[in-house]
Amino acid sequence: MIIKALKNNKYSLISLASVVVFLAVWELVSFLIGKPYLLPRFTEVMSEFFVLLGKKDFYIVTLSTLGRVLLGFVISLVLGVGLGILGGISKTVRAILAPFISFLRTTPTMALTLVIMVWLRNKYTPILIGLIMVFPIIYRTISDSIINVDGKLKEMTKLYGISNKNAVKFMYIPEVVPVLFGSLVTAFGMNIKAVVSAEILAYTADSIGLRMFIAKQDFFGGTATLFAWVLTAIIISVVFELLLGLIQKRISKKWN
């Protein structure tokens, strides 16, 4: 399927080629520097990654982080969609939420993590940080796309007295859902970055973040391990972004 998709999309091939060139440059620079604790070779990172894959601990850690990522993501999806609908319908709700959304969007993640660590146990901090990163994106996407539904269509539905249920089904969902999935693709990447960063700061047990931190402490031997954990986080992010992207394409194809 992937090969077929690549054949059909020359830009995917270009992206793949750019990754290959990047890895070749990485390999070359690493070889020239000759100090694996500063920049391990890509092949070394991959071999470390495969060593990790053979350990039970890898799956516990990865699934724990993934669980936090998904939990925060689902909660922010539910909250973002719910409040986004209210914000899209009511100017008052929008005005009430505006300062909080602004606060969440502009406050540095690290600062929020430190504050939340004061209140919450370490294993919950990353979940809340992920939620805080994703929620404003979903809220804004939903409320903006409801507001931006074509006024002429609303006029038509008003004239013919279409019920709220049918307006949601035939007008709002087809306008909002494809845009929502587009923003989820971006939000998921931001979510995983925020969760892993919070795990590092909060020393969360059984987490990719903590494993990265531990690997970093081993200055001369841990850099390849650190990179292997980074690679793990990237793989999770890419897999979910591809999945969400595929869903978005399917949905958009139906109506657009």
Partner 1 sequence: MELRGLTKKFGDNVIFDNCDLVFEENKITAVMGRSGRGKTTLLNIIAGLDTDYSGEIIGSSPCAYIFQEPRLLKGATVLENTLIGSGFKNREKAIKLLEEMELSDYINEYPKALSGGMAMRVSMARAFVSGRSVILMDEAFKSLDKDLKYRLYDMFLRLWNSSGKPTTIIVTHDKEEAEYLGDTIIEL
Candidate segments 19-27, 74-82, 132-140, 164-172, binder of partner 1 by CB under 8 A: 164-172
H or E segment to which residue 218 belongs:
none
- Does residue 164 interact with partner 1 by CB under 8 A? no
| Shortest distance in whole angstroms from residue 85 CB to partner 1 | 16
- Does residue 95 interact with partner 1 by CB under 8 A? no
Nearer CB in complex with partner 1: 106/163: 163
The size of the interface with partner 1 (CB under 8 A), counted in residues, is 21
| Tokens standing for residue 124 | 């919950």
* CA 84/CA 77 separation, integer angstroms: 10
The residue count for the chain = 256
- Does residue 100 interact with partner 1 by CB under 8 A? no
The alpha-carbon radius of gyration of the chain (Å, integer) is 22
Nearer CB in complex with partner 1: 172/229: 172
| Shortest distance in whole angstroms from residue 178 CB to partner 1 | 10
- Does residue 159 interact with partner 1 by CB under 8 A? yes
- Does residue 182 interact with partner 1 by CB under 8 A? no
Nearest of 198, 180, 181 to residue 240 by alpha carbon? 181
Residue position matching structure tokens 């804004």: 140
- Does residue 7 interact with partner 1 by CB under 8 A? no
- Does residue 160 interact with partner 1 by CB under 8 A? yes
Residue position matching structure tokens 């539904």: 149
| Three state DSSP letters for 8-64 | HCHHHHHHHHHHHHHHHHHHHHHHHHCCCCCCCCHHHHHHHHHHHHCCHHHHHHHHH
- Does residue 155 interact with partner 1 by CB under 8 A? yes
Residues that bind partner 1 (CB under 8 A): 152-153, 155-163, 166, 169-171, 173-175, 254-256
